[in-house]
A and B are shown apart, each in its own frame.
Chain A
């Protein structure tokens, strides 16, 4: 079932247009990955879907309902939750307060106790450090808190913008395992990632975003094997190029 649909959206920052007619579909229960170079518009697309940067043309539908003119807090109530680039934790507040704020929306607040249990089961370290200020956690723990905080909102569609940024490879592997688990629990995932190989291995489907346009799409496996993707994003040379080399 189609859950999220962006049709031909244009987004600009003042005079600068960052997205030029981007379309994408995400089905319920999928993991969809966005790959592409820095500045391609991945973050802008995530922000547009989350209601932080509304498109000036095109529309975005969630469950068939037009949502592109809604503000971020209204989308959270509908189950669209973004974990922004750089995590954006409330650094001066405790781990517990950060998690509680994640459940600010009235519906999520009612289920506070259960979601706490669920988040603490996935990330036991957050329970151990609940009294500590969020800013004093390690990078990996901060990313766990960012994910935990988003889960407190009981998302149906979880948007993650570069969750692996600045983390050690082993920690990234843990985070991706958690994403797989969250998805298995029924949460749809849309992930923007520079770390193309790991993301594509996780993905059901993927889109390539280049210079504000979609330049390719396919299943995760297709993408891992596509020449263009291997050259540009996986740092591999194709057999043909190898043969042509010295």
Chain B
């Protein structure tokens, strides 16, 4: 039996898994801290993809360097969204927040998708750099540069976020707020401001994920919900409250999908994630890395 296609599939699964990971980390952070479920997360990924596409097309700035622009841009957009739409949700009791935020963010998905169609048409686009399609081979396995770089950037962002949350005062305030917002306010932490910052970080991560998607895969106005679904599956796989867990669960899903292509063929690729989703809910409802 020839194992080479399996290995190649697994390597590609690893790359796409890194993107699932960074997509899920943003969603998990926002949900964990605010108990707000933002189904527009995938649409924010789409926006990040377009931002870096236009920055590349108009100014010729390399999409990996452009992250230094798209990240802060989406961070600012996250602040606008928080103060414009989601701030009102966080005044509600925690149980009420999920359903209200679902409605708001689903509406936001429709708005963002249609605005994107109006502005940029429904065509699929990809950022084609001069080094697109190039790569190196180890053994007979191909490693395209853009995808390798995408995985590295995703991993760096997630590790940086983890360090921020565990090492800095501001990061600890975010974790404290996610554990018990009322007790956090008794420490002198401005809970509304902490929510806003966490939401903006989540949005910035979506923007970076979008830039990485644009380099190695395709962007179109309609990709939002598919990415939200992937991110949701990963968050459930990982369990709440674990940033690194969400990233590793993303990688795991990417690998599982890649294996399934080899075993069942491409048509069942989407099914694998959903089957894993159901299995985890049945066997380990707190997720692979979650706390009870």
Say whether A90 contacts B186, CB under 8 Å.
no
| Contact A76:B180 (CB < 8 A) given known A90-B175, A93-B175 | no
Residue of A nearest to B192 (CB): A71
Say whether B185 contacts A84, CB under 8 Å.
no
Chain A hits for B241, CB < 8 A = 92
Q: How many angstroms between the C-alpha atoms of A199 and B110 in the bound complex? A: 60
Q: How many angstroms between the C-alpha atoms of A51 and B188 in the bound complex? A: 11
Chain A hits for B291, CB < 8 A = 92
Q: Is A228 an interface residue (CB 8 A)?
A: no
Q: Is A101 an interface residue (CB 8 A)?
A: yes
Chain A hits for B275, CB < 8 A = none
Say whether B179 contacts A101, CB under 8 Å.
no
| A76 interface neighbour in B173, B179, B187, Cβ under 8 Å | B187
Say whether A102 contacts B187, CB under 8 Å.
yes
Chain A hits for B187, CB < 8 A = 73, 76, 101-102, 104-105, 149, 153
Say whether B186 contacts A82, CB under 8 Å.
yes
State the interface size on chain A (CB cutoff 8 A): 27
Question: Which chain A residues numbered 83 to 106 have a C-beta less than 8 Å away from chain B?
Answer: 84, 88-93, 97, 100-102, 104-105
Say whether A101 contacts B180, CB under 8 Å.
no
Q: How many angstroms between the C-alpha atoms of A90 and B169 in the bound complex? A: 14
Say whether B185 contacts A92, CB under 8 Å.
no
Q: How many angstroms between the C-alpha atoms of A93 and B180 in the bound complex? A: 12
Say whether B175 contacts A50, CB under 8 Å.
no
Q: Is B266 an interface residue (CB 8 A)?
A: no
Q: Is A72 an interface residue (CB 8 A)?
A: yes
Say whether B185 contacts A90, CB under 8 Å.
no
Q: Is A67 an interface residue (CB 8 A)?
A: no
Question: Which chain A residues numbered 53 to 95 have a C-beta less than 8 Å away from chain B?
Answer: 71-73, 76-77, 81-82, 84, 88-93
Q: Is A182 an interface residue (CB 8 A)?
A: no
Output the residue of B176, B241, B291 with the most chain A CB within 10 A. B176
Chain A hits for B182, CB < 8 A = 52, 72, 84, 88
| Contact A72:B186 (CB < 8 A) given known A90-B179, A92-B291 | yes
Say whether B183 contacts A84, CB under 8 Å.
yes
Q: Is B191 an interface residue (CB 8 A)?
A: yes
Say whether B188 contacts A104, CB under 8 Å.
yes
Q: How many angstroms between the C-alpha atoms of A52 and B182 in the bound complex? A: 8
| Contact A88:B183 (CB < 8 A) given known A76-B188, A153-B188 | yes
Chain A hits for B185, CB < 8 A = 51-52, 71-73
Question: Which chain B residues numbered 133 to 175 have a C-beta less than 8 Å away from chain A?
Answer: 169, 172-173, 175
Residue of B nearest to A149 (CB): B187
Say whether B183 contacts A93, CB under 8 Å.
no
What does the 1/0 interface line of A96-118 toward B look like (CB < 8 Å)?
01001110110011000000000
Nearest-CB distance from A62 to chain B (Å)?
15
Nearest-CB distance from A88 to chain B (Å)?
4
Q: Is B259 an interface residue (CB 8 A)?
A: no
Residue of B nearest to A98 (CB): B176
Q: Is B121 an interface residue (CB 8 A)?
A: no
| Contact A50:B186 (CB < 8 A) given known A73-B191, A92-B291, A97-B172 | yes
Nearest-CB distance from B177 to chain A (Å)?
10
Say whether A104 contacts B173, CB under 8 Å.
yes
| A104 interface neighbour in B169, B179, B180, Cβ under 8 Å | B169
Residue of B nearest to A100 (CB): B172
Chain B hits for A104, CB < 8 A = 169, 173, 187-189
Q: How many angstroms between the C-alpha atoms of A97 and B173 in the bound complex? A: 10
Q: How many angstroms between the C-alpha atoms of A141 and B175 in the bound complex? A: 22
Chain A hits for B57, CB < 8 A = none
Nearest-CB distance from A233 to chain B (Å)?
28
Q: How many angstroms between the C-alpha atoms of A114 and B184 in the bound complex? A: 22
Say whether A90 contacts B183, CB under 8 Å.
yes
Chain B hits for A84, CB < 8 A = 182-183, 186
Q: How many angstroms between the C-alpha atoms of A71 and B130 in the bound complex? A: 55
Chain B hits for A93, CB < 8 A = 172, 175-176, 179
Chain B hits for A81, CB < 8 A = 186
Say whether A90 contacts B188, CB under 8 Å.
no
Residue of A nearest to B166 (CB): A97
Say whether B191 contacts A90, CB under 8 Å.
no
Closest 6 CB pairs of A and B: A105-B188, A76-B188, A88-B183, A72-B185, A104-B188, A104-B187
- The interface of chain A, by Cβ under 8 A from chain B, is 50-52, 71-73, 76-77, 81-82, 84, 88-93, 97, 100-102, 104-105, 108-109, 149, 153
The contact sample of 13 A-B pairs, CB cut-off 8 A, is A71-B185, A73-B190, A76-B187, A82-B186, A84-B182, A90-B176, A90-B179, A93-B172, A97-B172, A101-B187, A108-B188, A149-B187, A153-B187
User: Told that A71-B185, A101-B172, A109-B169 touch, could you supply 8 new A-B pairs with CB distance under 8 A?
Assistant: A52-B186, A73-B187, A76-B186, A76-B187, A88-B180, A88-B186, A93-B179, A105-B187
